[in-house]
Amino acid sequence: MTPLLAVDAIDKNFGAVRALSGASLTLARGEITALVGDNGAGKSTLVRCITGVQRPDGGSIRFDGEEVHFHAPEEARALGIETVYQDLALVEDLTVWQNLFLNREITRGIGPVRLLDKRAMISSAEQTLSRLAVNVPSVRSTVRRMSGGQRQSIAISRAISWGSTLVIMDEPTAALGVRETRAVEDLIRRLRDEGITVLLISHDFDQVMRLSDQVWVLRQGTVAGGRRTKDTTGEAIVAMITGVDAEKPT
Amino acid sequence: MTTATVAAPRRLDLRDPTFWSNNAALFGLIAVIIVFAILSPSFLTGGNISNMLVSATILVVLSIGQQFAIVVAGIDLSIGSNLPWAAALLGFGVTHGWNLPLSIILAIVGGTAVGVINGLIVTKLRINDFIVTLGMFGVMNGLGLLLTDANSVPVNSGFLQGLALNGLGPIQYFWLVALAVAVVAFVVLFKTKFGTHLLATGGNRDAARSMGIKVDRVRIAAYSISGLLVGIAAVLLVAHTGTADPSLQTSQLLSSIAAVVLGGSSLFGGRASIVGTVAGALLLSVLITGFTLLNISQYYQPIAVGLVVLMSAVLSRFQR
């Protein structure tokens, strides 16, 4: 089966700084793939190239077998690539359902006179959250009242509620406590169970070992190697990140 | 499976300070009415109530305009000179032989244009809202004075006089205008996609942009609506006074901001209340009328208005 996403020899320069030089990796369908690396290794730049925020200077990206050239995040989103940003992009003073439907509001009416169909959006929001077993007091509450874990879960639920096939998550549990981290990890596993491909950027090696099927290691703008998670250890990954006892890329 | 299907019941908890601060303007309005009714027997007469509502209409319309600027985390200081500018345009049209409908359109288009310019400068040149609208406040003041040579022109129009004095039975046309503006603003803000985008842009501009909302367009639209409502308020002002007066309306500007804050909206954007804003505008108008009725020196009026605003700011610390 062709990989859902294949990044081949991507380059990206910012002036004299080479952020990415010949980075290549693949994401298998329906798997959780982790992307790890030191600060400045190029993780964020790689993600921005995949999501259309930035354009690579060289190399190619194939999504679902087709070569893609995104000029804007909307183009990536239209193909089913959703990103859960670290800041979550939630509006605190809006309700949970308003956030879930932000810029995709359901309206009804005649011609240009269209009003929000609140009932449809509320019931759909409730269905989505209950399907994913996301526990919030009420979808009618504002996000301001939600805990960090609930916010993260809402942001993830929003990302997958539009038929997306690939969800990219940047440090989804960075600011969470133990219990909330576990709830979000359970949610990420449920996404995999639903057949969604996940790209997980994480600094937490224990989490990478718990969650992922495949790990890719970025070092100095290039992919230092990839491993099946079940065939490797946290120590081996740390060694690849730091370049100590570097192994040959697979 | 624990689900999200349980709706939070809307409880009315009188001990909850949030309840009081969210509705501060409404309770303030009721309190002020009770106090004045006790102090002055003529306060609650039909004639006086009618007069109060008519003179509050202009402020209500302006405050709703201000609400649109504030909900996107902006502010519209240009209202203070846009109002006389649009009024002056109406006078200009009438004195230059335009017919009345055309002159009214000229005033409304002129007011809207100022809003569009505000929005374009704020978004395209990325300059702070306060500075841009402060600059436009000065520019439009000067242009209004130049247009009229600083003279106010009488506008004699049966239609405008009728608008100011008559109504459908006991219901004054002025109230209907204010009511229509408030209802349309309410529907736009809370019942349409555009309204959600206004709230989202004001609440978290980066998040709104991440979700693909064209935040610049939303902000330009917000300022344009503010300008449009200033244009409508200018027509009401000319009808009310019978003249197009180009002098600054600074107190209307400050009152419009105070009304929005009193109404429970956040000056940082993202939160709006049309009912609150209308109640805030009515509260400020009633205060001023009541002071006049009680023969209290008019110098106390700004003190009272200022104190009310300060009190509401203290209350707003308890919000949500």
Check A133 against B196: CB less than 8 A apart.
no
- The reply to whether A19 touches chain B by the CB within 8 Å rule is no
Q: How many CB pairs under 8 A join A and B?
A: 94
B9 touches chain A (CB under 8 A): no
Does A133 lie at the interface with B, CB-CB under 8 angstroms?
Answer: yes
Give the bridge partners for A226, in sequence order.
Answer: A216
Q: Does A126 touch chain B (CB under 8 A)?
A: yes
- Residues in B touching A105 (Cβ below 8 Å): 193, 196
Q: Chain B partners of A129 at a C-beta cutoff of 8 Å?
A: 3-4
List of long-range contacts for A161-164, beta carbons under 8 Å, 24+ apart = A161/A100, A161/A128, A162/A77, A162/A80, A162/A82, A162/A104, A163/A80, A164/A77, A164/A80, A164/A81, A164/A82, A164/A196
> Mean of the pLDDT values across residues B135-154?
94
| pLDDT at position B14 | 66
3-state secondary structure of B159: helix
Other residues' Cβ atoms within 10 Å of the Cβ of residue B230: 36
pLDDT band at B4 (very low <50, low <70, confident <90, very high): very low
- Minimal CA separation from B98 to chain A, in Å: 33
Determine the average pLDDT of the residues in B206-219: 94
Half-sphere exposure of A66 (CA within 13 A, CB side): 6
Cβ separation B196–A126 shorter than 8 A: no
Checking A16-25 for CB contacts under 8 A at 24+ apart, the result is: A18/A221, A19/A45, A19/A221, A20/A45, A20/A46, A20/A49, A20/A56, A20/A221, A20/A222, A21/A221, A21/A222, A22/A59, A22/A222, A23/A59, A23/A218, A23/A221, A23/A222, A23/A223, A24/A59, A24/A223, A25/A216, A25/A223, A25/A226
Least confident range from A95-99, B179-183, B306-310: namely B306-310
Contact of B264 with chain A, judged by CB distance below 8 Å, is answered with: no
Residue-level pLDDT at B307:
86
Beta bridge partners of A217: A36, A225
Contacts of A133 in chain B (CB under 8 A): 1-2
Tell me if chain B has a CB within 8 Å of the CB of A109.
no
**Angle in degrees, CA A175, A178, A183, rounded to 5:** 90
DSSP β-ladder status, A32-37 and A58-63 = unpaired
* Cβ-nearest to B5 among A93, A116, A126: A126
Of B193, B203, B212, the CB nearest to A92: B203
Q: How near does any CA of chain A get to the CA of B168, in Å?
A: 28
Most confident of the following: A110-114, A180-184, B210-214, B222-226:
B222-226
CA A26, A29, A33 angle in degrees (round to 5)?
A: 55
Torsion angle, CA of B8/B11/B16/B22, rounded to 10 degrees?
A: 80
| Amino acid symbol at A60 | S
> Measured between CB atoms, does B1 come within 8 Å of chain A?
yes
Which residue, among B278, B271, B224, has the nearest Cα to B61 in the 3D structure? Answer: B278
| Interface check A115 vs B, CB under 8 A | yes
Answer whether residue B42 shows pLDDT above 70: yes
Across the range A231-241, mean pLDDT stands at 88
Across the interface, do B3 and A126 touch by the CB < 8 Å criterion?
Answer: yes
Work out the average pLDDT over B289-309.
Answer: 83
